[in-house]
Amino acid sequence: MTTLFKTIALIGKQKNSEIVSPLLRLGQYLQDRGTEVLLDCVTASEVVAKNYPVLAIEEIGARADLAIVLGGDGTMLNIARKLAPFDVPLVGINQGHLGFLTDLSIETMLESVGNMLDGSYVTERRMLLSAQVIRSEVSVFSAIALNDVTVNRGSGGNMIEFEVRINGEYVYSLRADGLIVATPTGSTAYALSSGGPILHPSLDLIALVPVSPHTLSNRPIVVGPEAVVEILIHRTADARVHSDSHFHFDLQENDKVVVTRSNHTVRLLHSADHSYYRMLREKLGWSGFPQKKA
């Protein structure tokens, strides 16, 4: 059977030698199916016998029809941001417990990937956020995020103080440990642990979730995808802005963090029997009723 994916990139978790064996096993399987296999240069540094072309991630974006990521959700977050401008579809294989983004297991990966190459898969589009820091009317930092853009206090014990505006309209002033601006993908990450709502990934919405607010009436709110969220810093307490916890930038008083929907999206492929609600049940322990005490 013909497949749309003629050239497939394999990308593994950085500095993890345990990923090499399953990666090479998958590479051989793909080659046996007549597929051209690529390795990104970081992954290739862990592989002794480099039997495949080794490319930078930008070259993979321009050349690959599909990228298969072996690792965990953190690895997928990193690769998804880098490949989003190229619209390369992604498949995630988890080497441990199945994740929210890496939902195939190493034990069954050959069968799962084979079925997907035969056309048995479903596609999801995930929105991204774009963030920048404006200082004295100049942009001094920019990043994109698949999970969230977060403003957090530093290592000191003091809360930070900031003002939030949406589409130019004043919403509230807040003393808190921080504020999470999350996508539906990120609603099951840091935002969830801070009491935010779970948003289905098919939605294009943005959640604003305060982190340990001084006033308990400051609750999470959800806004539309065209919202322009502005966070004006009044007192920093060594505050930082984070993008997916991978990139950060130190903030100063009067800095303005501007968060909007990115023009790019991430395309994830799942097995045909993939169920978001089943994954939530398994990951969050929703299955069954609590056991009654004797």
Could you give the C-alpha distances from 269 to 30, 104, 121, 169, 278, in angstroms and in order?
Answer: 17, 10, 6, 38, 17
Quote the CA–CA distance of 146 and 247 in Å, as a whole number: 12
So which residues are the catalytic ones?
A: 73
Residue 257 pairs in a beta bridge with: 133, 231
